[in-house]
């Protein structure tokens, strides 16, 4: 990193000294600009948040009713202590944004988590020209090339249909925020009824209120005792796997939707019946394409296969370096990040229990 | 190829036995016999000798994918399997092949052996470009000779029996030994007629589970025959049609590797099959297993090694006599006939009737078992006197009753990522103990014994506490202590610790114990046999 960088890593997160704010801090700070509402990017307890208008409801669910949130429409710049700040769609989840910072002729873009394939539950990723581009590298290996989501939804619906015909329930495990709603948007409700776990239901409501069209769902906890679940689809966070809560749907088939399902060993290790390759993160070709589209002369690589992406970009003549965040570690520390994210879901599910308001 | 790749995916997709058998049955019912024969061949773990070196497959695939070597290696580290890494990296293919599996194997795969490198490369690229990703994956698996798909031979057997309407035991028997995959083989495999022409074919081995809980629950001690459980190579010696065949349990024909036993085979009456154990043996006493290791895998056996490590066959059972299958008869009767055969051969330096251990109570039997180690045995085998010779592993009639293993508390000092199911997790551990100067010296490697949850915790610890990299190996801050178990212990000048152990595995995580309190090399030396 250089002395005059617009953003600098600190103990609390990426700090913009000129503007006096942090981007996606991991400790409570007075002023935070957040890319999206996932726990590892939106830290609870900050004095003031700036986030996208599209994501306001979802951020509110996560940050609490008391949080002070300034909502900014995509593409509309505001001035924060002389730094021009604007938010642009990142295509990751509802309201996810890339943060564009402009100060004294320099333009930085922090993309947070992003994905380039459009989906029905959020605004599609828009490349933003910049000098310095901060990119994630969760799936920064060339083995990660996503199949089209249409083909994955076909697979999921075919699995659901086959389960229904065999008199089984289908339990589909995915992150409560983002992935679950994207899956819901791809399910074919003519196959059977769709239920959700408490953690999923709450956020699904926020999505609907935000204008996202999703098929009708019922909260699984509200069902009467002794109900037969044959033919039903239940969407739940990964932490639900193997719990007594999940067993009540038996006989059931369990599926996991995640980019990690690309690898056979991971699929088998998770001991689910089926693994579907669906990710809200950018894949390898998507990452390279996004970097190129920004025209950035310098690329800072965060969480994931940082070392791999940095080396690859450098070999192709792009100035690239690892941006020290709390994810820095070996190339595949993102498995840890995944585990953390799952734990966050778990903690949330435990807090909210089955009871949601 | 399409159906076979689909079968692979179907088997891979489910953890339910019933669904696997169903998928297999569906495949065998519709596949052309030539394809089905090859499918059986690969599914039960047979493989043609590797035709193209993995190294070359990697190289060509990386070039085709436009991926530099280091990036292929990074990808491989995440995936843990060359065939899969290649399939994931190859450029997306627009094609998918309809050609039958047998054609791919016989006309494309097998001729690659011995072809020059350029021809091999061209053929591999052609094949990849003709296939979709699941087909590429299966093809790579077939080529690299590492085809494993999580179906046991038993499941394949069950599906075949169902399709052919033949008894599963008959199918299992027909799958033994040497056979060439082809339409005729499949016909014979599923034939209703039970007379079989192949006279080399061994019987499926009868296997045992370990005794669980109190041994007295097995009933009166008088109902059982106890023998020493030897640590050698389980084998089958067959004499038929004037030929001798010695099969290892891995269904490898090893007749030429153990000429001393082959000569005994020639002395057996026509139509004999003996189940036994190859043991290194001198002057009526078994030698340590490490000695036998010097002969395993050695195809040419010279005079020197024959003299240094002579072997015998310890005869356990008689499955066939006078060309008749005896497996349904009671063990006691089979053993009586076996004793007769062994006595007639009269070569106690080559063929030995497995000695029995007689005791009038389970307490006395347990006392006898405690002597196992001093006899180079692992414990006792308990066989019900009236038991038939089962096909495969069955609960109830035969039990292994091993002596308690040695145990040691050792410190985790290095780790490496696993492969296959454990790819990308650190699961292969090196454990150390304190030497006389209070330095940690590597003492054993172990892979199994932890639960998935524990593996995840240990993996997280390793990632946070790496010290150095040596290739794929990471040294780790010496902090975690595990109780290891192992079966045998020997002096070994080849190991840094001076000690080699048999079957080391993790018994439990001693998170109550600091590294300083782990065992010392000195205390382990105390376990060495005199």
Chain segment A191-244, per-residue pLDDT in tens:
999 999 998 998 999 999 999 999 999 999 877 777 889 999 999 998 888 888
Chain A contact for B479 (CB, 8 A cutoff): no
Contact A284, B71 (CB under 8 A): no
Host H or E run for residue B317: strand B311-321
Comparing CB atoms, the residue among A264, A305, A315 nearest residue B12 is A264
Give the residue-averaged pLDDT of B199-226: 91
Q: How far is B518 from chain A (nearest CA, A)?
A: 29
Comparing CB atoms, the residue among B419, B424, B463 nearest residue A329 is B463
Residue of A nearest to B10 (CA): A274
Q: How far is B88 from chain A (nearest CA, A)?
A: 5
Q: Mind giving me the DSSP string for B248-291?
A: ETTS-B-GGG-HHHHHHHTTSPSSEEEEEEEEEEETTEEPPHHH
Contact B228, B354 (CB under 8 A): yes
Q: How far is B151 from chain A (nearest CA, A)?
A: 13
Which chain B residues have a beta carbon less than 8 Å from that of A243? none
Does the pLDDT of residue B387 top 90, yes or no? Answer: yes
| Residue A347 pLDDT | 39
- Rounded Cα gap, residues B206 and B219, in angstroms: 21
Selected residues 64-93 of chain B with any CB under 8 Å from a CB in chain A: 65, 67-68, 70-71, 74-75, 77-81, 84-85, 88-89, 92
Is the CB of A268 less than 8 angstroms away from the CB of B421?
Answer: yes
Residue of A nearest to B462 (CA): A330
| Residue A327 pLDDT | 38
Contact B484, B504 (CB under 8 A): yes
Give the residue-averaged pLDDT of B64-87: 92
Is the CB of B463 less than 8 angstroms away from the CB of A274?
Answer: no
Percentage of chain B surpassing pLDDT 90?
A: 54
In this prediction, residue B260 has a pLDDT band, given cuts at 50, 70 and 90, of: very high
Give the residue-averaged pLDDT of A323-339: 43
Does the pLDDT of residue A52 top 90, yes or no? Answer: yes
Is the CB of A273 less than 8 angstroms away from the CB of B466?
Answer: no
- Rounded Cα gap, residues B306 and B293, in angstroms: 13
3-state helix, strand, coil in chain A (%, to 5): 30, 25, 50
| Residue A343 pLDDT | 38
Residue of A nearest to B13 (CA): A274
| Residue A209 pLDDT | 92
Contact B411, B440 (CB under 8 A): yes
Which chain A residues have a beta carbon less than 8 Å from that of B68? 315
Does the pLDDT of residue B399 top 90, yes or no? Answer: yes
Query: Which of A246, A244, A308 shows the shortest CA–CA distance to A272?
Result: A246
Is the CB of B79 less than 8 angstroms away from the CB of A143?
Answer: yes
Residue of A nearest to B66 (CA): A142
Does the pLDDT of residue B405 top 80, yes or no? Answer: yes
Q: How many CB pairs under 8 A join A and B?
A: 77
- Rounded Cα gap, residues B198 and B178, in angstroms: 9
Residue of B nearest to A336 (CA): B460
Give the residue-averaged pLDDT of A168-179: 94
Chain A contact for B364 (CB, 8 A cutoff): no
For Cα atoms B420, B423, B427, give the angle at the middle one, nearest 5 degrees.
105
Contact B156, B148 (CB under 8 A): no
Is the CB of A264 less than 8 angstroms away from the CB of B71?
Answer: no
Cut 0.90: pTM above it: no
Chain A contact for B9 (CB, 8 A cutoff): no
Residue of A nearest to B452 (CA): A269
| Residue B422 pLDDT | 64
Question: Which residues lie closer than 8 Å to A256 by C-beta, 6 or more apart?
Answer: A172, A173, A174, A238, A241, A267, A270, A272, A274, A275, A276
A contact set with B (CB within 8 A): 141-143, 145, 262-269, 271, 273-274, 305, 308, 311-312, 315, 329-333, 335-336, 339
Q: How far is B514 from chain A (nearest CA, A)?
A: 25
Does the pLDDT of residue B34 top 50, yes or no? Answer: yes
Could you report the per-residue pLDDT of A243-275, keeping only the tens digit for each? 888 888 989 999 999 999 999 888 877 778 889
| Residue B421 pLDDT | 60
Does the pLDDT of residue A72 top 50, yes or no? Answer: yes
Best B70, B88, B147, B151 residue to mutate vs chain A (most A CBs within 10 Å): B88
Residue of B nearest to A263 (CA): B79
More confident residue, A49 or A11: A49
Selected residues 392-421 of chain B with any CB under 8 Å from a CB in chain A: 419-421
Residue B242: strand pairing partners? none
Residue of A nearest to B87 (CA): A143
More confident residue, A336 or B264: B264
**Distances from the Cα of B517 to the Cα of A149, B465, B481, angstroms:** 54, 20, 9
Q: Mind giving me the DSSP string for B160-185?
A: HHHHHT--HHHHHHHTSS----SHHH
Is the CB of A331 less than 8 angstroms away from the CB of B74?
Answer: yes
**Distances from the Cα of A93 to the Cα of A42, A282, A304, angstroms:** 13, 12, 19
Q: How far is A263 from chain B (nearest CA, A)?
A: 6
DSSP secondary-structure letter at B423?
B
């Amino acid at each position: 990193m250089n002395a005059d960088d617009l953003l600098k890593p600190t103990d609390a997160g990426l700090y913009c000294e000129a503007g006096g704010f942090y981007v996606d801090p991991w400790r409570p700070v007075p002023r935070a600009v957040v890319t999206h509402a996932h726990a590892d990017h939106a830290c609870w307890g900050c004095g003031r948040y700036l986030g996208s208008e599209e994501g306001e409801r979802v951020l509110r669910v996560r940050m609490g009713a008391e949080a002070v949130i300034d909502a900014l429409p995509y593409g509309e710049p505001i001035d924060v202590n002389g730094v021009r700040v604007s938010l642009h769609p990142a295509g990751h989840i509802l309201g996810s944004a890339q943060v564009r910072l402009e100060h004294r002729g320099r333009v930085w873009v922090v993309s947070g988590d992003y994905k380039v394939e459009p989906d029905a539950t959020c605004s599609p990723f828009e490349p933003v020209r910049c000098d310095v581009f901060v990119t994630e590298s969760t799936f920064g290996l060339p083995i990660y090339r996503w199949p089209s989501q249409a083909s994955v939804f076909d697979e999921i619906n075919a699995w659901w249909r086959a389960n229904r015909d065999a008199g089984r329930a289908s339990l589909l495990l995915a992150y409560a925020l983002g992935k679950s709603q994207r899956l819901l948007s791809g399910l074919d409700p003519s196959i059977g009824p769709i239920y959700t776990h408490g953690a999923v239901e709450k956020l699904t409501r926020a999505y609907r209120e935000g204008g996202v069209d999703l098929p009708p769902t019922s909260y699984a906890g509200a069902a009467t005792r002794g109900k037969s679940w044959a033919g039903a689809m239940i969407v739940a966070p990964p932490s639900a796997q193997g719990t007594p809560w999940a067993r009540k749907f038996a006989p059931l088939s369990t599926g996991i939707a995640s980019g990690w399902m690309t690898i056979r060993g991971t699929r088998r290790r998770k001991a689910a019946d089926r693994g579907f390759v669906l990710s809200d993160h950018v894949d390898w070709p998507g990452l390279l394409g996004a970097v190129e589209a920004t025209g950035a002369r310098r690329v800072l690589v965060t969480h994931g296969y940082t070392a791999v992406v940095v080396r690859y970009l450098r070999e192709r003549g792009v100035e690239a370096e690892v941006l020290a965040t709390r994810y820095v570690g070996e190339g595949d520390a993102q498995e840890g990040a995944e585990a953390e994210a799952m734990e966050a879901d778990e903690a949330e599910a435990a807090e909210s229990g089955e009871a949601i308001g | 190829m399409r159906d076979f790749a689909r079968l692979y995916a179907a088997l891979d997709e489910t953890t339910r036995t019933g669904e696997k058998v169903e998928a297999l049955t569906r495949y065998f019912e519709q596949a052309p016999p030539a394809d089905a024969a090859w499918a059986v061949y690969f599914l039960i773990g047979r493989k043609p000798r590797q035709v193209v070196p993995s190294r070359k497959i990697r190289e060509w695939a990386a070039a085709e994918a436009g991926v530099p070597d280091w990036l292929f290696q990074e990808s491989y580290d995440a995936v843990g399997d060359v065939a899969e890494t290649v399939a994931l990296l190859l450029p997306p293919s627009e094609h998918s092949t309809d050609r039958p599996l047998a054609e791919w194997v016989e006309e494309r795969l097998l001729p690659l052996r011995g072809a020059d490198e350029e021809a091999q490369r061209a053929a591999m690229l052609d094949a990849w470009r003709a296939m979709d990703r699941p087909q590429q994956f299966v093809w790579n698996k077939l080529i690299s000779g590492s085809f494993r798909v999580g179906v046991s031979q038993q499941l394949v057997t069950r599906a075949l029996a169902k399709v052919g309407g033949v008894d599963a035991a008959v199918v299992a028997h027909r799958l033994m030994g040497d056979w060439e995959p082809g339409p005729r083989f499949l016909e014979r495999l599923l034939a209703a007629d039970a007379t079989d022409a192949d006279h080399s074919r061994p019987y499926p081995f009868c296997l045992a589970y370990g005794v669980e809980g109190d041994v007295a629950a097995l009933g009166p001690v008088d109902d059982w025959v106890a023998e020493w459980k030897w640590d050698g190579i389980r084998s089958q010696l067959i004499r038929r049609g004037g030929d001798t065949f010695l099969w290892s349990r891995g269904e490898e024909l090893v007749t030429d590797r153990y000429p001393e036993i082959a000569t005994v085979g020639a002395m057996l009456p026509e139509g004999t099959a003996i189940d036994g154990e190859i043991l290194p043996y001198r002057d009526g006493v078994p030698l340590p297993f490490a000695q036998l290791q010097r002969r395993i895998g050695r195809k040419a056996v010279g005079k020197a090694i024959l003299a240094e490590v002579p072997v015998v066959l310890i005869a356990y059972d008689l499955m066939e006599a006078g060309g008749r299958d005896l497996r349904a008869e009671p063990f006691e009767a089979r053993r009586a006939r076996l004793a007769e055969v062994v006595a007639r051969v009269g070569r106690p330096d080559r063929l030995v009737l497995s000695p029995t251990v007689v005791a009038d109570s389970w307490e006395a039997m347990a006392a006898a078992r405690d002597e196992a180690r001093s006899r180079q045995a692992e414990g006792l085998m308990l066989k019900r006197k009236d038991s038939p010779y089962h096909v495969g592993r069955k609960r109830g009639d035969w039990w292994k009753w091993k002596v308690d293993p040695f145990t040691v508390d050792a410190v985790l000092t290095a780790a490496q990522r696993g492969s296959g199911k454990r790819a990308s997790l650190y699961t292969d551990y090196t454990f150390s103990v304190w030497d006389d100067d209070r330095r940690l010296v590597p003492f054993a490697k172990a892979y199994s014994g932890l639960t998935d949850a524990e593996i995840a915790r240990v993996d997280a610890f390793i990632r946070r506490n790496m010290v150095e990299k040596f290739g794929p190996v990471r040294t780790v801050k010496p902090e975690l202590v595990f109780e290891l178990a192992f079966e045998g212990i020997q002096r070994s000048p080849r190991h840094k610790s001076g000690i080699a152990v048999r079957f080391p595995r993790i018994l439990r995580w001693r998170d109550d114990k600091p590294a300083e309190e782990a065992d010392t090399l000195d205390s382990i030396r105390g376990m060495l046999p005199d």
